[in-house]
Amino acid sequence: MRAKVALPLAVLAMTAGSAAMLVQAPALAADAGKVAIGGKAPMFTTTGAKAGKAYKLSLASELKKGPVVLYFFPKAFTSGCTAEAHEFATRMTEFKKAGATVIGLSADGIDELKKFSTEACQSKFTVAQATPQMIQAYGVGLAGRPSMTGRTSMVVAPNGRITFVHDNMDYRDHVKLTLGAVQSMAKKKG
């Protein structure tokens, strides 16, 4: 009788282990190309929107003004992404005081981002299209949905080097941590 009990438990243990490996595999694959602290940020030009108006956005041009916060988010007008954008908007004075530009990036279409820029972002910062090439270059594809971005925030120094990365689908710490990183940069510079 023990053999019958032990066998199903062993089978369950193997099945659970196999399931865990399947769940982890896409996440590991998505992390493989992630940019790292100290690495060069891939340069890009894309379409951005601020205050409902679309324009061409170049990371290289933005870096000439100072550090840039790039925050990748999955989907405009979802609860977490809207709350995150609202918090960035609320704290824009602090980001500007530290000399930083904030750019939100998502695979959403430009019409959706124009609307999001006025409503969730309160016309205080730019949101822009993350192209498939950008998503791949930064390694921020959502596990299982590589054409959609996960939630990753990073700070890029004016020299193009990445100085901070926070990769977590929970939106709550992204603004606080990126603001802390740019404030730390400003203190070192000043």
Summarised one tens digit per residue, pLDDT across range 39-97 is 999 999 999 999 999 999 999 999 999 999 999 999 999 999 999 999 999 999 999 99
Closest to 35 measured CA to CA, from 72, 88, 65: 72
Do residues 28 and 39 share a domain?
A: no
Residue 33 banded pLDDT, cuts 50, 70, 90: low
Determine the Cα–Cα distance for residues 73 and 82; give it in Å rounded to an integer. Answer: 10
Same domain, 49 and 112: yes
Cβ(37)–Cβ(77) under 8 Å? no
- 53 with 19, same domain: the answer is no
| Number of separate domains in the chain | 2
How many CB atoms sit inside 10 A of residue 153's CB?
A: 26
> What pLDDT was estimated at residue 127?
98
* Residue 111 sits in the same domain as residue 182: yes
Contact 87, 163 (CB under 8 A): no
Mean of the pLDDT values across residues 175-186?
A: 96
The model's pTM is 0.82
- C-alpha 149 chain-centroid distance: 7
Name which of 177, 154, 170, 173 is nearest 63 in CA terms: 154
Q: Which range marks the domain in which residue 14 is found?
A: 1-32
Q: What is the pLDDT of residues 115-154, one digit of tens each?
A: 999 999 999 999 999 999 999 999 999 888 888 999 999 9
In terms of domains, do 90 and 26 share one? no
More confident residue, 1 or 142: 142
Q: What is the mean pLDDT of residues 105-113?
A: 98
pLDDT at 138: 95
- Helices 79-90 and 174-189: crossing angle in degrees, nearest 10, is 30
Task: For residue 57, give the CATH number of its domain.
Answer: 3.40.30.10
